[in-house]
Amino acid sequence: MASPRTFTFLCGLLAANLVGATLSPPAVLSLGPEVIKQRLTQKLKDHDAINTLRQLPLLSAMKKESAGGIFSSLVRSILKHIIRLKVTSASILQLQVQPLHDGRELMINVPLDMVAGFNTPLVKTIVELHMEMEAQAIIHVETSERDHSRLVLSDCSSTHGRLRISLLHKHSFLLSSLADKVISLLVPALPKLVKSELCPVIKAAFEDMREDLLNLTMVPVSLNSDHLEFDFMSPAIDHNVVHLILGAKLVDSEGKVTKLFNDSVDSLNLPSLYHSPFSLTMRKDMVNAAVAALLPPEEIIVLLDYVLPETARRLKSSIKVISEKAANQLGRTQIVKILTQETPELLVDQGNAKVAQLIMLEVFATSEAYRPFFTLGIEATSEAQFYSRGDLLMLNFNKISSDQIHLMNSAIGLFNPELLKDFTTKILASVLLPNENGKLRTGISVSMVKALGFEAASWSLTEDALVVTPASS
């Protein structure tokens, strides 16, 4: 068997090729304005915001607004002609999300479209008023004294500048004149009413949306018996994108944390969305840890002459060049052991992915032999093919090659291990790759794709990270 010192040397050789820039933090869920609008719109429906608009106490608000003023007697004379004033229909139009000038806050505009009707003893006709206005609020990051950050919604209001009230139908001069007076009273009263009645609903809807978004990041990602857990660290706003910055940890089947990825976010390089509704960006070392959980170190034993007879004949021919005596000792029960003591490492170059593996390969003359003929340390690479199946992220290894072969131990004399390159490549492609691809076949579920309302995921690679986005329809 190879000495630990020798294998440590090989690990160092591979690690030297894997050093590169890393993305901080471990993971970022980036949400574009479309996701924010869709989620907040749904929460406004859940909180029955339309019913809140329909129940606006317009008449009492007008009386309160005019009480104590110099024209209060005139107002009372107008209002005595109003039997009932009620919102008869209401709708919330498409929300708008746009960054404020500093790019660290978002303005939410909630356009409101309402029709109110009032009755008067003068005529039986219902006089209808069309009311258009906007509620506005600001989303920003609030940091507490304990340095805990969270997204908050504040400064909810409705401005007179966005308020339009008009008579919906033509009426007589008398009714039109009365309607104009009602409109003049509604103009100052309605924004205050929206702030007192609707703004608390908007704030509650936002807080529900925020909690839902945080909860969906906490769903564990299954990795065979292990799983990956995300931990919310802090939010950030960059122009029109909300970023949820996540730490991560790998947890085994017994609930023990085996690897922690929570790094500092002091020097944060936030990913860009590039017109996608959302993205989940996972740092490369996290992806490597996920692959490692799916492919733990193992030993594969192959009865070569029974499983791959042609490869067994090639091996005997190659060994005969080294030692004819050793070649003659190879029996029908000759064994090849493949040991993956180091898990695969992801390498990315211009969007193309490869995996590097350190493999130990031993050849035994027979199944009864205690000592191997020789032990090889192999630095191998394979193509890494990422693809999607619904919300599953799939990975497959193709075309393995033995890039470097080191003779770590030999009982048949020293020889150039490159003589066995064709043999090692063949047996790794025939035995190791199918074994690893079988374990990868279950895929990695990215449940937040469907939780955000999308059916399928797509992926892309950068030098530092793997990025999951919704697939184009």
Residue 91 lies in a domain: yes
Reduced to 3 states (helix: H, G, I; strand: E, B; else coil), residue 38 is helix
Specify which residues 20 forms β-bridges with: none
Helices (H) and strands (E) in the chain, counts: 14, 21
Q: Are residues 255 and 132 in the same domain?
A: no
Q: Are residues 207 and 239 in the same domain?
A: no
Residue 195 lies in a domain: yes
Per-residue model confidence (pLDDT) at position 170: 79
Residue 1 lies in a domain: no
Q: Are residues 165 and 261 in the same domain?
A: no
Residue 136 lies in a domain: yes
CA-to-CA distance for 214 and 39, rounded, in angstroms?
13
Per-residue model confidence (pLDDT) at position 74: 59
Residue 8 lies in a domain: no
Residue 17 lies in a domain: no
Q: Are residues 105 and 170 in the same domain?
A: yes
Choose the final residue of a domain: 175, 198, 213. 213
Among 425, 306, 308, 415, residue whose Cα is nearest residue 367? 306
Per-residue model confidence (pLDDT) at position 21: 40
Per-residue model confidence (pLDDT) at position 456: 86
Domain count across the chain: 3
Q: Are residues 244 and 147 in the same domain?
A: no
Residues in the chain where the model's pLDDT stays below 70: 1-23, 66-77, 147, 263-269, 473
For residue 407, the domain's CATH number is 3.15.20.10
Residue 38 lies in a domain: yes
Per-residue model confidence (pLDDT) at position 361: 96
Per-residue model confidence (pLDDT) at position 278: 92
Per-residue model confidence (pLDDT) at position 126: 85
For residue 68, the domain's CATH number is 3.15.10.10
State the residue range of the domain holding 249. Answer: 219-292+445-470
Residue 11 lies in a domain: no
Please report, for residues 22, 131, 268, 379, the alpha-carbon distance to residue 25 in angstroms, rounded to integers and kept in the order given.
9, 47, 7, 30
Per-residue model confidence (pLDDT) at position 224: 83
Could you tell me where the beta strands, DSSP code E, fall in 324-391?
Answer: 335-339, 345-349, 352-364, 374-389
Per-residue model confidence (pLDDT) at position 6: 40
| Pairing status of strand 221-223 against strand 226-238 | antiparallel
Q: Are residues 115 and 85 in the same domain?
A: yes
